[in-house]
Structure 1
């Protein structure tokens, strides 16, 4: 298999040697829209994807945690990549989530994503079986060997039960197609250790750490909250790149209330993102069981926090009702 070079970000300032950003800087972990009956809503996915890119997202991560990957079929995952590619063309990179608890299944999904038109793969540590680190490493290498696409490792031990330990990441960084990490470890020190010793692009997967990780050489973010506030996250990165560190800090602090409301209120981010998108008149639809929708009071509260961030109903996302 011939190694592929990291992708060139479609917009924003070029990546430098000190800050590799193979998939762009501002990425959204996009929800997967469903119809009211629970079917995959490809028209809604096209509309939402185009809007997110119009509002500043340089990349979209599909079929990740926020995209409800455990409850979408293999065929739905491939169809989603194709539909979003039709909608955004080459204006944004598409990273397809392919991680499962089964190495063979993950390899199959990786190959299907490549065929469907993905630009890269998001590969989580295999979950439930809790393999030791040598097995985690072997799993991730096998997936990276399966296609010509660059790979973003996904370290989220709170969900998988298994950390991709920093020493394991250091070894995996030697693989020519493993180019990035989505970091949801809540271990900022560990992330800095790996970033200091490798050229891996580190993306903040915890929205509240977007600026903190970017300030020490991170690549940007893969944000759930960006589903409803894409411009705000892009603005944090743009301000920092322009040398306005105080402004970047103000922007991060301003969005933290919405982050807390969506990500730290006892409900999965998928649930809160879909509740708020629905209130804003944007494609989302229901969540699939075993997840359950947010209640009316929760949705009302999310909208209040959102409108405070956006400056009132008059400055909601274009097209919202």
Structure 2
């Protein structure tokens, strides 16, 4: 079965948003895009969870997407985060992303207001009707407070411009149901589950750890696609502790920004209500980075 969203296969890096003195550091953001291009990353995704999108003003949100699209210059695809718990706001952001030159929209399921399943369907259908930018659904019930059920996602897959899903439920059963019941491209939303998901027919990952070691993630994906299972497994096991700590020491992207700073790629502070990594967890992070070979 051919998948609808294979233009987003491979490694998409969920970009951090650099902040300096309370403002978006635009020069640092442009450097992040250039670095990912140099590393061979397939796609970058600004204004997602890792990009601290809930803390961005509407103007900042649009500006970050515009900067990333400008800097990408067609050298790397851009999957812009345009989700909202307001359907009208999601439409506005998606239209703005298309105008900026994004290749697709990463749209988180409406959070906090906990729609019924038909509400999820009608929300995404309304955005798809208003703007023809390819849409990647983003299902992360741990943050949105409600699961978008696989039946709903498979129903949404019938809409031509809804092409993929970032699967962040942690449920292999749910991923299997989507893969068997639709033509959507399925991307892992959890770095540690990328290889297991690809073994079932998934096509890649929207990655946090790709901010640090994109070439290693790319190598694992390439090994799997080449049929070199042992090499892919070896890469998975090397990456696993780093992936685990980026998402377990503290709320994403707190550990990631701390790691980037420690590796000489300082992206500034996290924005309130997020707070810096504690001294105790910095010791754990240091050990992980050393064990991996980054220090």
TM-score normalised according to structure 1 size: 0.88
Q: How does 1:1-321 map to 2 (within 5 A)?
A: 17=2, 21-35=6-20, 37-265=21-249, 267-309=250-292, 311-313=293-295
Query: Number of aligned pairs?
Result: 295
Counterpart Cα distance in 2 of 1:307 and 1:24: 30
Counterpart Cα distance in 1 of 2:118 and 2:175: 20
The alpha carbon displacement at 1:53 in A equals: 2.5
Counterpart Cα distance in 2 of 1:203 and 1:238: 15
CA contact (8 A) 1:63 1:98 kept: yes
CA contact (8 A) 2:3 2:185 kept: no
CA contact (8 A) 1:30 1:60 kept: yes
Counterpart Cα distance in 1 of 2:82 and 2:153: 18
The alpha carbon displacement at 1:304 in A equals: 2.9
Q: Deviations over 1:152-198 (max 9, x none)?
A: 00000010011110000111000000000000011111111111222
Cα gap change, 1:256/1:262 in structure 2, threshold over 3 Å: closer, same or farther?
same
Cα gap change, 1:174/1:257 in structure 2, threshold over 3 Å: closer, same or farther?
same
Counterpart Cα distance in 1 of 2:173 and 2:263: 37
The alpha carbon displacement at 1:225 in A equals: 1.3
Counterpart Cα distance in 2 of 1:19 and 1:127: 26
CA contact (8 A) 2:139 2:169 kept: yes
Task: Give the structure 2 partner of residue 3 of structure 1.
Answer: none
For the residue of structure 2 that corresponds to 1:122, the secondary structure is: strand
The alpha carbon displacement at 1:201 in A equals: 0.5
The alpha carbon displacement at 1:18 in A equals: 6.1
Q: Which 4+ stretches in 1 moved above 2 angstroms?
A: 16-20, 85-88, 295-301
Q: Deviations over 1:30-88 (max 9, x none)?
A: 110111x1200111011012112222311011101111111111221222122222322
TM-score normalised according to structure 2 size: 0.96
Cα gap change, 1:22/1:312 in structure 2, threshold over 3 Å: closer, same or farther?
closer
The alpha carbon displacement at 1:213 in A equals: 0.7
Cα gap change, 1:165/1:297 in structure 2, threshold over 3 Å: closer, same or farther?
same
Unaligned runs of 5+ in 1: 1-15, 314-321
Counterpart Cα distance in 1 of 2:152 and 2:294: 46
The alpha carbon displacement at 1:279 in A equals: 1.1
